[in-house]
């Protein structure tokens, strides 16, 4: 096997192939990147039985062949090569990588022991890459990081004929974003796919600059699979098994009381005032006709408060929120103003969760389909 390839193109391809590899694996063979050279294309693949990544790049191939090499080591090398073409040759179990005056010799891994990559089913639909990337970044932050309940460590995709909804929750907050989607069908059965949040975040970052992303949902009941494809890159992932909690019902149909605030001003105020808070403590937010006052009661040595402008509609409200969770929602509002709506409970002394949505101006709500529901106590019991 022998080929020559552009240094930057090769480095980017190796980086893509290893991004989703596990940091540690009980099977060393799964830490490898499979390189296949044929014709004028070089294909790099990785697969750990849960997630796979594959990309194809142009190369000058003198001798076709296939080799398996340690993925993270090859990535470290490729990212630090000098600015020159990369020559890659193999002889028996030795791999030679030459770039300019730099030369590396690596040991290959047994190709015959490497698992076969999963087959991808028919296309389910197509979505703009930038809209998909934005939606993933807005929603995935709300997914749980606690593996004790695997079902909420994923992002639920709900597929219709013309729209795609992404939903995530960690029981303390719920994030939802709906975007346009082309399934090429009318009247088809709705589909649901529960994708690991970490995988989806990497897919969103990788395919954000693609004009369109093709999505395929397929497989048997015991091994359902989702695939994302764009620009000679493909990522597949097994879906998380289980029934996603019915979090949509937590969103109120209408909310009368709300405040509209400049998003950037609120973000900066929350960051400043929360500096004196101890870990896991909440900020107190007092909404009045005069504006919004943020208060932090930290230790005996430090307290903080700040007042900013807010346009209040409805009754005055006081609510306590964890600053980190609030900032996640505010940073996902990609508009100049934010609306914080106050839901009510049967107990007048106990405020309900707050609903965060975007505002294009103080008067006009945003139409981007993003909603973020937050309260200090558990939403799901």
Cα→Cα distances 49→116, 239, 357, Å: 9, 12, 38
The string of pLDDT tens digits covering residues 292-327 is 999 998 667 789 999 999 999 999 999 999 999 999
Output the furthest CA–CA distance in the chain (Å, rounded): 78
pLDDT of 180 higher than 80: yes
pLDDT of 381 higher than 80: no
Q: Measure the CA–CA gap between 176 and 199, rounded to whole angstroms.
A: 18
Q: Two tokens at 340?
A: 């914080």
For the chain, give the percent of residues with pLDDT over 70: 96
What average pLDDT does range 243-256 have in this prediction? 92
Q: Are 108 and 93 in contact (CB under 8 A)?
A: yes
Average per-residue pLDDT for the chain: 92
Q: Are 213 and 258 in contact (CB under 8 A)?
A: no
Residue 221: per-residue pLDDT? 52
pTM of the predicted structure, to 2 decimals: 0.91
Q: Measure the CA–CA gap between 309 and 307, rounded to whole angstroms.
A: 7
Residue 217: per-residue pLDDT? 92
pLDDT of 353 higher than 70: yes
Look at the block and give the residue holding tokens 């107990």.
Answer: 347
Q: Are 305 and 273 in contact (CB under 8 A)?
A: yes
pLDDT of 198 higher than 70: yes
Q: Where is mean pLDDT largest: 27-31, 179-183, 265-269?
A: 265-269
User: Which range has the worst mean pLDDT, 50-64, 100-114, 172-186?
Assistant: 172-186
Q: Measure the CA–CA gap between 75 and 89, rounded to whole angstroms.
A: 17
What average pLDDT does range 259-285 have in this prediction? 94
Residue 187: per-residue pLDDT? 64
What average pLDDT does range 53-60 have in this prediction? 97
DSSP sequence for 168-190: EE-SSEEEEEEEE-B-S-SSPPP
Q: Measure the CA–CA gap between 333 and 290, rounded to whole angstroms.
A: 24
pLDDT of 162 higher than 60: yes
Residue 249: per-residue pLDDT? 92
pLDDT of 146 higher than 90: no
pLDDT of 378 higher than 50: no
Question: What angle (nearest 5°) sits at the alpha carbon of residue 320, between those of residues 149 and 279?
Answer: 60
pLDDT of 350 higher than 80: no
Q: How confident is the model at residue 360 (pLDDT cuts 50, 70, 90)?
A: very high
């Amino acid at each position: 096997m022998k080929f020559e390839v552009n240094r930057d193109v090769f480095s980017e391809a190796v980086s893509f192939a290893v991004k989703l590899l596990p940091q540690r694996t009980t099977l060393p063979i799964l830490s490898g990147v499979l390189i296949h050279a044929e014709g004028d294309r070089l294909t790099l693949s990785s697969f750990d039985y849960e997630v796979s990544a594959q990309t194809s790049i142009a190369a000058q191939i003198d001798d076709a062949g296939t080799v398996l090499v340690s993925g993270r080591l090859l990535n470290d090398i490729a990212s630090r090569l000098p600015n020159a073409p990369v020559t890659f040759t193999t002889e028996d179990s030795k791999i030679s990588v030459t770039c300019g005056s730099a030369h590396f010799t690596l040991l290959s891994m047994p190709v015959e022991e490497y698992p076969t990559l999963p087959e991808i089913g028919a296309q389910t639909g197509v979505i703009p890459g930038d809209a998909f990337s934005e939606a993933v970044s807005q929603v995935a932050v709300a997914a749980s990081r606690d593996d004790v309940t695997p079902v909420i460590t994923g992002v639920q995709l709900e597929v219709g004929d013309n729209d795609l909804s992404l939903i995530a929750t960690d029981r303390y907050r719920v994030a939802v974003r709906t975007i346009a989607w082309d399934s090429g069908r009318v009247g088809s059965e709705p589909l649901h796919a529960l994708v690991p949040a970490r995988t989806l975040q990497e897919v969103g970052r990788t395919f954000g600059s693609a004009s369109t992303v093709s999505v395929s949902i397929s497989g048997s009941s015991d091994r359902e699979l989702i695939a994302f494809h764009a620009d000679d890159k493909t990522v597949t992932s097994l879906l998380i098994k289980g029934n996603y909690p019915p979090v949509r019902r937590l969103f109120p149909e209408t909310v009368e009381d709300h405040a509209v605030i400049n998003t950037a001003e609120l973000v900066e105020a929350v960051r400043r005032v929360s500096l004196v808070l101890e870990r896991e403590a909440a900020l107190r937010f007092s909404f009045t006709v005069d504006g919004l006052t943020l208060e932090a009661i930290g230790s005996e040595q430090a307290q903080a408060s700040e007042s900013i402008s807010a346009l209040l509609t409805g009754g005055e409200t006081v609510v306590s929120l964890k600053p980190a969770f609030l900032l996640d929602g505010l940073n996902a509002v990609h508009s100049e103003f934010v609306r914080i709506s106050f839901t009510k409970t049967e107990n007048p002394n106990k405020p309900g969760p707050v609903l965060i949505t975007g505002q294009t101006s103080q008067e006009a709500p945003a139409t981007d389909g993003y909603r973020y529901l937050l309260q200090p106590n558990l939403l799901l019991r």
